[in-house]
Structure 1
Amino acid sequence: MRVLLTTWGSRGDVEPLAGLAVALRELGVGTRVCAPPDEDFVALLERAGVPLVPLGPTVRSVVAGPKPPGAEEAFELAPRLVAARFETLTAAAEGCDALLATGLLPAGAPDVAEKLGLPYVLACFHLLGLPSRHFPPGRRPGTPSSPDETDNRVLWRQDAERVQALYGPAVNSHRAAIGLPPVGNVRDQVFTDRPWLAADPLLCPSAGKTDLDVVQTGAWFLPDERPLPEGLEAFLDAGEPPVYVGFGSMAAYAPEGIARAAIEAARAHGRRIVLARGWAGLTPVDDGTDCFAVGEVNQQALFPRTAAVIHHGGAGTTTTAARAGAPQVVVPRVADQPHWAARVAELGIGAAHPDPAPTAESLSAALETALAPETAARARAVGREIRPDGAMVAAKLLVELAG
Structure 2
Amino acid sequence: MASVMVTAMPFAGHARPIRAVAAELVRRGHDVRAYTGRSYVDGFEAVGARGVPWRVAPDFDERDFAATFPRMRGRKGPRQVLHNLEDLFIGTAPAQTADLLAAHDEQPWDVLAGDPLALGTRFAAERTGSRWATLSPVPAWLPGRDVPPPGLGLRPRAGVVGRIRDTALAGVTRLAMAPLDRAYRRSRSAAGLPSGGGGFPTMWYSPELLVAPGSAGLDYPRADLPRSVRFVGDLTDDGGAAGTSAPLPPWWDDVLHAETPVVHLTQGTANVDPDDLIRPALEALADEDVLVVVGLGHRTDPLPGALPGNVRVAEMLPYDALLPRTSLMITNGGFGGVVQALRHDVPLVVAGGDLDKPEVAARVAWTGAGVDLRTGTPRPAAIRSAYRQVASESSFREAAARLGAELRALGGTRAAADAVEGLLRRP
Do the structures match in fold with TM over 0.5?
A: yes
Higher mean alpha-carbon deviation, 59-68 vs 227-236, is at 59-68
Question: Which one-letter code corresponds to 1:301 in the other structure?
Answer: A
Q: Structure 2: where are the runs of 5+ without partners?
A: 67-71, 153-164
- Alignment partner of 1:83 out of 91, 94, 104: 94
Partner of 1:10: 11
- Pair 1:95 & 2:121 matched: no
Q: Which residue of 2 is the match for residue 386 of structure 1?
A: 407
* Mapped pair 1:346 → 2:366: yes
Greater shift, 158-167 or 90-99, is seen at 158-167
- How do residues 324-403 of structure 1 correspond to structure 2 at under 5 angstroms? 324-372=344-392, 374=394, 375-387=396-408, 389-403=411-425
Answering whether residue 291 of structure 2 is matched by residue 266 of structure 1, we say no
- TM-score of the pair, normalised by structure 1: 0.83
Secondary structure at 1:138's aligned position in 2? coil
Whole-angstrom CA distance in 2 between matches of 1:314 and 1:210: 26
Partner of 2:160: none
Q: Name the % identity.
A: 22
- State whether structure 2 residue 239 is matched by structure 1 residue 223: yes
Pair 1:12–1:153, CA change in 2 (3 A): same
Please give the alpha-carbon distance, in whole angstroms, between the structure 1 residues aligned to 2:341 and 2:127: 41
Per-residue CA deviations over 1:373-402 (Å, capped at 9, x if unaligned) read 613454345423323513222322222322
Counterpart residue number, 1:57: 59
Q: CA deviation at 1:82?
A: 1.5
Paired with 2:315 and 2:8, the residues of 1 have a C-alpha distance of 24
Counterpart AA for 1:246: T
Distance 1:258 1:393, change over 3 A: closer
1:29 is aligned to 30
What is the identity, as a one-letter code, of the residue corresponding to 2:423? L
Q: Is the 8 A contact 2:282 2:308 kept in 1?
A: no
Aligned residues of 1:195 and 1:212 also touching (Cα < 8 A): no
Gap change, CA 1:394 and 1:75, over 3 Å in 2: closer
- Residue identity in the other structure for 2:52: V
Q: Distance in 2 between matches of 1:37 and 1:52?
A: 9
What is the CA-CA distance between 1:322 and the residue it aligns to? 0.5
Superposition deviation, residue 271 in structure 1: 1.3
One-letter identity of the residue aligned with 2:376: P
Q: Render the CA deviation track for 1:7-41: whole Å, top value 9, x for unaligned.
A: 32633322221121122223222211212334xx4
Match of 1:107 in 2: 119
Query: How far did residue 121 of structure 1 move?
Result: 2.0
CA spacing shift, 1:109–1:24, aligned 2, 3 Å: same
Residue 384 of structure 1 aligns with an amino acid whose one-letter code is A
Structure 1 284/381 Cα, relative in aligned 2: closer, same or farther at 3 Å?
farther
What TM-score, normalized to structure 2? 0.78
Deviation at 1:294, TM superposition (A): 0.7
Tell me, yes or no, if the aligned pair for 2:31 and 2:49 is still in contact at 8 Å.
Answer: no
CA distance in 1, matches of 2:37, 2:354: 21
- CA distance in 1 between partners of 2:250 and 2:229 (Å): 43
Contact 1:83 1:174 (C-alpha < 8 Å) held by counterparts: yes
- For residues 217-257 of structure 1, the C-alpha deviation after alignment (integer angstroms, 9 at most, x for no partner) is 313224336475251322213423421111111235x4635
Residue identity matched to 1:171: R
- CA distance in 2: counterparts of 1:184 and 1:287, whole angstroms: 52
Give the partner amino acid of 1:385: E
1:118 aligns with 2:130: yes
Residue 332 (structure 1) shift: 0.5
Q: Tell me, in whole angstroms, the C-alpha distance in 2 between the residues paired with 1:342 and 1:79.
A: 27
Greater displacement, 341-350 / 46-55: 46-55
Residue in 2 that maps onto 1:145: none
**Which residue identity lines up with residue 167 of structure 1 in the other structure?**
Y
Name the CA shift for 1:257/1:345 in 2 (closer, same or farther; >3 Å): closer
Using the alignment, how far apart are the partners of 1:158 and 1:9 within structure 2?
30
Over the aligned positions, Cα root-mean-square deviation in angstroms equals 3.2
Q: Is the 8 A contact 2:293 2:311 kept in 1?
A: yes
CA 1:217–1:285: 2 relative to 1, 3 Å: same
Distance 1:394 1:73 in 2: 27
Contact 2:332 2:351 in 1 (8 A): yes
Return the match for 2:182 from 131, 152, 165.
Answer: 165
Label 1:305 to 1:211 Cα distance change in 2 as closer, same or farther (>3 A). Answer: closer
Within 2, Cα distance between the matches of 1:391 and 1:325?
Answer: 19
Structure 1 residues without counterparts, runs of 5 or longer: 140-147
**Structure 1 residue 160: deviation in Å?**
6.6
Counterpart of 1:329 in structure 2: which amino acid? V
